[in-house]
Structure 1
Amino acid sequence: MNNLNDSLPDLMRRATDDLEPESNDLVERGMRRGVTLRRRRTALLSLSGAGAVLATAGIIVGGSQLFAGNAAPVAGPPSTAPSTPASAQVAKPGTPTDTMKRLQRLLPQDLKQSSAKVSYERNMHHAEVVVDDGKGASLITVEVITTKPNPDCAGLHGSCTVRADGSVITSYANESIFPYDASKNPWGIKNTVVEIFHPDGRLISIRNYNAPKGDGVQHTRTNPLFSVKQLTALATSDQWVFPKEQDGPLKPKGNGKPSVPLEQTQQTLKSVLPKALQLTQPQTWGGGTNGHNGASYLVDDGTGAARVEVLVQYETPVTKCTDEGPQHCQVRGDGAVTGWSKNEPSYGDERQAVNGVLANRVELHHPDGRMITMTSYNGPAEKDEKHTRALPTLSTDQLLEMAGNPGWKFPGTGTK
């Protein structure tokens, strides 16, 4: 009989080869609440991510127990043969029920399961179940999606890596569902998430909560049941099935508006910034047919260098204030919707005391669908860097004035 435990280090290493080093579960880069939600919508073509499961006790991938523990393995002989990476598999069409069956089969068998649900939207299967290891109920969701391929980390939330096979993996651990506004998360709910974007347009999104629901109920455990490493191992299973072939990868639809060179957006940002600032470390993201352009500088007024960034794009017109986005919102007389937040902390927990980064953020939504977001920090990055000054370099009034400059050009995705 093969010694299965001897293969565990190799299996774990293959599942996590391309993850960045961990620090307090994983190096996390922050959720930019208004900005990132919209960037992520662009990346997923309006399909939100969510996802699934694994365990401290054990998980089964391709018939092999991946993590040693007390959980009983599913039926089938164990094997130590190397598994084929999920990105190399031919995606077989399936149904939402198939997705649920695989989720429940991959779960450690000693976990109590309840409240299983499935749903379906075009190109997306959603399955969820509440599991309990005796230390508190924990919601697990998985979504398998066929969508537009996402070639890089631009605009994705969390720690992100482009793997050698072209797949993109992003993750974050134990994060408050509203990291910038504790008043919107009185239940203390956190989630841990792993998403893998395959080059052929398949996306698997795994999410685990420290509560039996994603919001509206008190948390039942300190942190979600499963770690980033465990969810990554689950996401790389070759057992997942994706929507039917006729619902295959979405083809990008042009909006009839031409793209704008990233260099032009960078130059416009430079032109609207106060002239007294010293500008270094220019960066851009997006461009081409992505439908959004992003640009940033490290700016210094003599009292500390800090990041300023901009995102410009077209969106479905926003006509009123909602709960999503910055803390404050106003509808102007010309129909534009403006939003702003002052001194947002990067983290919603004790980690904020370590780096102390704050952000001033504004959004300007024009009635014709043009949207611009500008953010000023009091440090060189939103997360994983220490602040360099007491407050962000630019005020929300300054950011709103710059966002309203007529020189901005908004990128489209080409002809329809």
Structure 2
Amino acid sequence: MTQHDTGVTELLRRASDDLAPDVERLVRGGITRGRSRQRRARIGTTVASLAVIGVVGALAAVVPQGGPDSTRDPGIATEGATATKSPSPPPDPDRPPSADALRPLVTPIEMLARIGGLTGASAVQRIKVDQSGQDQARLYYATVDEAQVSFSIRWYNNPLVVADGGQPLAPSHICEPEVEADCTTLPDGSRLLREEVRPSGGTGVPESFLERSLTLATHDGWQISVIARNTTDEKQGEVVADEPVLTMAEMQALATSTAWYA
């Protein structure tokens, strides 16, 4: 070592003779810095992992997987995405619909033609059409396989119902008079009342005169009634079939069709 180096060393030693290092503080600071580095390392690892997962997920979404069953129907994917949404509450069949929710009907002539097309009727008669705005009732008689089928539609919550303080009606009103009614609530809140085969009734009408009926009260205020018979007329004429000419399933399809609305 040179004389110059020895002098520098001696000066540094004398300068530090009076220093008393705070060992506790230095140790504590070292531990704190070590923990900070560990936390940063863990966070960095987590972020890197998430980034890798995100990249892999993105690639999986855009790159088709191998194999014959790899392609998916877009409709299925859409349904899966939709399923994650919160379901809306089911419509309440006991809540009266608002008057401005009523769907407009097609014209009476169009309705007559559509009844004929949907039932395969050989003839359809327009019996009644009320366009006064009070009830808006329409009644048609169709001849199906020589027997009579009646189709009627009216506004069940019309102003006459609530006149003089009356309460608006809900779709469930069609089930109230029946003790053991076959009444079903449809997904849209409409109510469907089915009444299976029974005699047509009436004084002097033979018991062989049979009818099957169905009534639909829609969620927005229309009431549709379909009655199928095994005779050429309700209380007279002749029996042309063992049972009413339309099945309950056919009548339900007729009542719930959207063909009646503009």
Q: TM-score, normalised by structure 1?
A: 0.32
Max radius of gyration: which structure?
2
Q: TM-score, normalised by structure 2?
A: 0.49
The structure with the greater share of residues assigned to helix is 2
The structure with the greater share of residues assigned to strand is 1
